[in-house]
Amino acid sequence: MKKMCKINCWFLLLAFLAVSILIVPGTGSSTDAPKKERKVVAKVNGKPIFEDQLDADVNKSLKKWKKYGMKQQTPALTYKLQKRALDGVIDDELVVQAALKIKVTEMDKKVEAKLGKMKKRYRTEEKFDSYLKMKNLTLKELKGNLAQQVHVDEYLKKNGITNPEIPEEKIREFYDANPKNYERKETVEVAHILIKVDEHAGPEEKEKAYIKAEELRKEILGGKVFGTMAVEHSQCNSASGGGGLGYIERGYMPKEFEEVAFTIEKNTVSDVVETKFGYHIIKVTNKTESGVAPYEDVRDFIKKYLQEGESKKKLAE
């Protein structure tokens, strides 16, 4: 294993030495040229890196600088951001070039799996096609990019960079050394069904909304599924998710809502509760007490955090 690591490190070092950096201050382009040509700012083992490949990262950094009070963009700052972005692109390219040398089995299957996940995120073919147009990509080009990602995934796994193993004692040690990081407030996981009524509505309108909420509550107590009833009847934006509001702390919802949500037992349905928004039926699905979270509750989070740190360290090496 140590021998393999040394070989890979030497390979990356030699590849890095093959990089010829051509970046210069500013974005300068010739106004005399009949058409704008892509400007090469570096070559990695002969492969050109173009200035426009840095634009997204540079623009993102500039937005942050402006957010924190930068009044005027200077050539020196632009150059600094370009150099930093270029270093990142070079690092990525070195990894890609190393990754493309390894053999990957079932490539088509793995590319299709990645493509399927992408399409699922965009939900419809129409939205997915819009994404391709926005990125100016054909489906064939996208599959080529995904194949490259598969190579990188396999390379990182092979070299122990993806999800490196973290000893249990190291996770426990991190937990014991940072108890304040795991302090939490009392929270409840809730779902609700809302029947809206204006707080200035008259008695008849309020009575009508209350009766409807009470009828829905009785149906739920009679066996109807709370989430299904929320989807069909709730007038809150949370309806599509079965009425779920996730975990809430005190101060998140109206006082009348919280007094009930933090009092009723887990997995029980409340009486009808009135707030300024209307009438609510509340269901508490989980509770957490205030104080330091038990090790078992945060172990996986700590492990993931330590894995990310170890991955970055190994990738940099």
* pLDDT for residue 59: 86
pLDDT of the residue at 30: 44
From 57, 75, 152, 77, select the one nearest 107 (Cα to Cα): 152
Phi, psi (degrees; rounded to nearest 5) at 264: -70, 155
What pLDDT, on the 0 to 100 scale, is given for residue 15?
A: 41
Report which of residues 162 and 231 the model is more confident about: 231
Give which of 316, 222, 213 is closest to 272, Cα–Cα.
Answer: 213
Task: Inform me whether the pLDDT recorded for 114 exceeds 70.
Answer: yes
Q: What local confidence, expressed as pLDDT, does residue 243 receive?
A: 94
- DSSP-derived letter for residue 64 is H
Residue 8 has pLDDT above 70, yes or no: no
Instruction: Note the maximum CA span of the chain.
Output: 82
pLDDT band at 150 (very low <50, low <70, confident <90, very high): very high
- How high is the pLDDT of residue 143? 92
Q: Are strands 20-21 and 40-44 parallel, antiparallel or unpaired?
A: antiparallel
Average pLDDT, the chain: 84
Distance of CA 22 to the CA centre of its chain: 34
Res. 126: pLDDT tops 50: yes
H or E element, residue 307: helix 295-316
> What strand order describes the sheet that includes 187-196?
244-248, 187-196, 278-288, 273-275
pLDDT at 106: 92
pLDDT band for 238, please (50, 70, 90 cuts): very high
Buried b (16+ CB within 10 A) or exposed e, 64-87: eeeeeeeeeeeeeebbebbbebbe
Over 70: is that where the pLDDT of 33 sits?
no
Residues in the chain: 317
pLDDT of residue 213: 95
* Region for residue 253 given its phi and psi (left: phi exceeds 0; alpha: psi -120 to 50; beta: otherwise): beta
Residue 199 carries which side chain, given as an amino acid letter? E
Q: Work out the number of other CB atoms within 10 angstroms of the CB of residue 188.
A: 24
Q: Is the pLDDT of residue 138 over 70?
A: yes
Q: What is the DSSP letter of 236?
A: S
Name the pairing type of β-strands 187-196 and 278-288: antiparallel
Residue 193's DSSP bridge partners are: 281
The CA distance from 28 to 43, in Å, is 19
Residue partners of 115: CB distance under 8 A and separation at least 6: 142, 143, 146
Q: Which whole number is the average pLDDT over 34-58?
A: 85
Q: Tell me: pLDDT of 18 over 70.
A: no
Both tokens of 200, joined, read 């200035």
* Residues facing 47 on adjacent strands: 44
